[in-house]
Amino acid sequence: MSTELKLKPEESKGRAYVDRLLLDQLADLEAVVKLGEIAQRLSDQGIGLGAVRSLLASNPSRFAYHERRWLPASRLESLGRPMAEAMRLVVGKYGGPLTLAKVVSELARIRPSAKNLEEEVRRIAKYDPLFILLGDERLCLSEWAFLGKDLTIERAFKLNGVSSEDVEAVRKKLGDFDWRAQDAIEKAVKLCSPVSIKALGAAAWLDLNPQDPRSTLVFDDEAFFSKALAIPGYVFVEGDLMPEKDSPKWIAAAMRVAEKLVAQIEVEDAAPIDVKDEDVERMVNLVKSSEKTVTGTRLLEDFYEITAANRTFPDDLSNLMEALTTRSDIWWVGGDRFRKPNSAPDFVFSVPEVFQFAPSSVMDEEGEPVDVELDDDGLSSTLRKLLVHPLATDVLDEEILPQPKTMPPQIRLVLKSLHRELGTFPMCQIPTGWLDAKPSVQELILVDGNGRELQVWANHEARLLFGFIDWWYEQATESGAVFTLTKTGKPNVLEFEWLDQPDPVLYMTSQRMEELRELQANAEGKSTLALLIEVMAHWPKGADFFAILAHLNVVRRTSRRMVASLLSSYQCFHQRSGSPLWHFDPKKVELGFDKTKKRFVRK
């Protein structure tokens, strides 16, 4: 397994589970030249060729590439070893109960001339303390079980590698539990799973084998282990008994891991492919006949059995992309993704009308406009800096910033209320260059922690992302919810994650949102200044510019420069020395516009 990637517990278990599926296929096929054979057999479980190659090539402890064929690593390591050691390697590297028939079959490939092989394997399985043979003829390593016998608690825990904390956690889940009941083990597994089988065994051992030297020792460690593994609907993975119904989650976790793993097994690769014209035509026809997006990565797998684990993959993908992106009869939608032409929703090609800014026509007593914008010289240096901050900008109200010198792999983004309502997100919060600049309209795939995927459309000309509506409405926070996007090894595929804490400046409670909507309902005919005054009345101790801008935009769509100009030019608003907060003084409303700012008013 790759030492460069630290796996989360669920990822490690998912990987171990899928590794077992792969070992089953390698054993059935004896040896594999083309990995497409395995991928085809496992395709109904969501395991593709790229994942198969990545998982095999990154775990030399379980898999080997020998004489241009893939096979279980135990087959090579068992050569020349004593029979019991060979059995231990086969079962141990499988990582779970293995039928005696499969053990014999695997050993027969290592020892093709051995006589009475099955009898010898059965004898060792039955009598060697290295093994436990289950009643259903599956072979396990005894090191997987809790073996207590008549040991002291401290000695038993140490020899079995369990902690008192883990055992107590199991006992707490079980509560007042009767281990002598006929179905006690099955009940315990159902109550505690997923659970360490050793910790569960230790909990039973503590109750059934008291430390009193005069007591009767009731706990049978091998019988307990055998019964626990025989319970239907549960799978033994990395020392834990886990509900088999959760296997789709483990596979999804393993598929995510497969994208990040680093190959540790060298596989001979030829020169990069030359994409022939007849192959291009077949690929184009495949794209045109598909209702879904077809990726260049998939085309390489389907046509050439080339995956990201091949050393020539970057050149192979480049050659394929060069051949396909020039075709006018299919639509390149960014990354390595292709679709039928004109297959995106119409709404992704324009900015929704609600993002437009309506000019204010309210006049004061002297016939002058009330809502005016100032040029930069009329604003403080602090406000000028805030105007270009991503949290102040929005669609139709931004300047595109230079590309950062160092591009972060992950970005933190804040959802505002209007975008939540429309299922959009402004590209002004995304660093320039973080998404590929071409083509102008692209398809992105977002994947959350549960493996769910969401199709999102990025329009560089509209400066908007479209298609979030389903996920946005799952988020109860109407303004200020925070999420991250993280790049993956797949082009235009991003990891999505909600963060627990909302943005402290842009967050609004449901009650505040209702207050602002009430202001919005009565905003017709009012100046933006009047609405700003009503919004500012909410903060007797002052408010941050970003918060003021966000709250006012719930009431009326207002540009950042207009808000900054009103705060700077009307005498009822002010900042205290050294404070970033803006304050509203109702006693100074009558003072009106600061005449010294008149020369800065934009014409």
The whole-number pLDDT of residue 310 equals 79
Q: What is the pLDDT of residues 73-103, one digit of tens each?
A: 999 999 989 999 999 999 999 999 999 999 9
Neighbours of 346 (CB within 10 A): 7
String of DSSP letters for 412-455? EEEE-HHHHHHTEEEGGGSPTTSS---SSEEEEEEE-TTS-EEE
**Cα(97)–Cα(288) distance, integer angstroms:** 47
The CATH code of the domain at 277-343 is 1.10.10
The verdict on domain 405-498 having CATH code 2.40.330.10 is yes
All CATH 2.40.330.10 domain ranges of the chain, comma separated, are 405-498
Statement: residue 39 has pLDDT above 90: no
Which residues are bridge partners to 234 per DSSP? Answer: 243
Check pLDDT > 60 for residue 165: yes
The amino acid present at 408, given as its one-letter code, is P
pTM confidence score: 0.67
Helices (H), 128-259: 153-160, 164-174, 184-192, 197-208, 221-229, 247-258
- State in Å, rounded, how far the first CA of the chain is from the last one: 66
Say yes or no to pLDDT of 272 above 70.
yes
> Which residues of the chain does CATH 1.10.10 include?
277-343
Amino acid at 384: R
Hey, is 485 helix, strand or coil? strand
**pLDDT value of residue 535:** 97
pLDDT confidence of residue 148: 85
**Whole-angstrom Cα distance, residue 250 to residue 11?**
7
Distance of alpha carbon 17 from alpha carbon 8, whole angstroms? 14
3-state SS, one letter per residue, for 265-307: CCCCCCCCCCCCHHHHHHHHHHHHHCCCCEEHHHHHHHHHCCC
What pLDDT is attached to residue 269?
61
Q: Is the pLDDT of residue 2 over 80?
A: no
Contact 546, 506 (CB under 8 A): yes
Radius of gyration of the chain (CA): 33
Q: 201-215, 218-232, 544-558 — which is least confidently predicted?
A: 201-215
pLDDT (mean) for 307-320: 87
Question: Distances in Å between the alpha carbon of 579 and those of 390, 566, 603?
Answer: 21, 18, 31
What does the pLDDT average to over 520-532? 95
In one-letter notation, the amino acid at residue 69 is R
What local confidence, expressed as pLDDT, does residue 3 receive?
44
If one counts every other C-beta atom within 10 angstroms of the C-beta of residue 287, the result is 23
- What count of other Cβ atoms lies within 10 Å of the Cβ of residue 356? 10
Residue whose structure tokens are 């050659």: 319
Q: What backbone torsions phi and psi does residue 243 show, to the nearest 5 degrees?
A: -65, 125
Q: Which of 125-134, 188-197, 272-281 has the lowest mean pLDDT?
A: 272-281
Computed over every residue of the chain, the mean pLDDT equals 92
> In angstroms, how far is CA 469 from the centroid of its own chain?
19
Burial of 274 (0-12, 13-18, 19+ CB in 10 A): exposed
Is the pLDDT confidence value at 580 over 70?
A: yes
Binned at pLDDT 50, 70 and 90, residue 69 comes out as confident
pLDDT value, residue 33: 64
Q: How far apart are CA 110 and CA 183, in angstroms?
A: 41
Chain segment 135-161, per-residue pLDDT in tens: 999 999 999 999 988 889 999 999 999
Q: How many CB atoms lie within 10 A of CB 177?
A: 17
How far is residue 549's CA from residue 557's CA, in Å, rounded to a whole number? 10
Q: Quote the CA–CA distance of 437 and 460 in Å, as a whole number.
A: 7
Task: Lowest mean pLDDT of 41-45, 418-422, 493-497, 571-575, name the range.
Answer: 41-45
| Residue for token pair 């959009």 | 424
- Is 133 in a helix, a strand, or coil? strand
Task: Give residue 1's pLDDT.
Answer: 38
> What pLDDT score does 270 carry?
65
Burial 406-444 (b: 16+ CB within 10 A, else e): eeeeebebbbbbbbbebbbbbbbbbbeebbeeeeebbbb
User: How many other C-beta atoms can be found within 10 angstroms of the C-beta atom of residue 254?
Assistant: 28
